[in-house]
């Protein structure tokens, strides 16, 4: 049985740390409370299409296959559009900061989907119950994102 939380945690570990072996990944998973066998990790990596890449220094480590990243961006954009239509009340900017107002209880879900989209211009998001603060690189980036959100 596939553990969705474990899969999400594996992707997060791969995206945030240089993991060069399944044993290293198993150690990281143990720190999160998972007790998994190497065969399980191997199946998980294959299932979510994690591959090994070599960097300029010759080090090998796991990364998410670029083709999967593009597929997930498309899925995330569709998800964001759907979630935005249902949840967002207003969008305003203050320079490179966007304030998104949502219905109560919806801000964290919208922010999570926005984070999954991996817009390079988005430096970070902070969500409360009904408000999201989204920090962007510059004014141009914030205007671009606002226009995108308003055109849903």
For residues 42 and 45, what is the distance between their CA atoms, to the nearest angstrom?
5
For residues 46 and 24, what is the distance between their CA atoms, to the nearest angstrom?
16
Using CA atoms, how far residue 138 sits from 120, 125, 130, in Å, is: 12, 15, 24
For residues 108 and 114, what is the distance between their CA atoms, to the nearest angstrom?
10
List pLDDT tens digits, range 42-85.
888 888 878 888 877 788 888 877 654 444 555 555 666 666 67
Q: How many CA atoms lie within 13 A of 63 on its CB side?
A: 11
The pLDDT value recorded for residue 152 is 63
Q: Which domains occur in the chain, in start order? A: 4-64 (1.10.10.10), 68-150 (3.30.1360.40)
List pLDDT tens digits, range 3-51.
778 888 998 898 888 899 999 999 999 999 999 999 999 888 888 878 8
pTM reported for the whole predicted model: 0.49
Band of pLDDT at residue 1, cut at 50, 70 and 90: very low
DSSP state of 58: S
Query: Are 129 and 107 in contact, with CB atoms under 8 Å apart?
Result: yes
For residues 26 and 41, what is the distance between their CA atoms, to the nearest angstrom?
7
């Amino acid at each position: 049985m596939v553990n969705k939380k474990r899969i999400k945690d594996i992707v997060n570990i791969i995206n945030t740390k240089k993991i060069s072996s399944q044993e290293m990944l198993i150690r990281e998973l143990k720190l999160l409370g998972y007790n998994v066998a190497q065969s399980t990790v191997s199946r998980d990596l294959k299932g979510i299409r994690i591959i090994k890449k070599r960097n300029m220094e010759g080090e090998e480590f796991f990364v998410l296959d670029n083709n999967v990243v593009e597929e997930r961006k498309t899925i995330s954009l569709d998800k964001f559009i759907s979630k935005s239509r249902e949840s967002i009340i207003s969008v305003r900017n203050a320079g490179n900061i966007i304030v998104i107002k949502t219905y109560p209880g919806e801000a964290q879900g919208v922010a999570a989907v926005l984070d999954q989209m991996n817009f390079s211009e988005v430096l970070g998001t902070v969500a409360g119950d009904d408000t999201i603060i989204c920090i962007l690189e510059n004014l141009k980036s914030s205007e671009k994102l606002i226009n995108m959100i308003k055109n849903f």
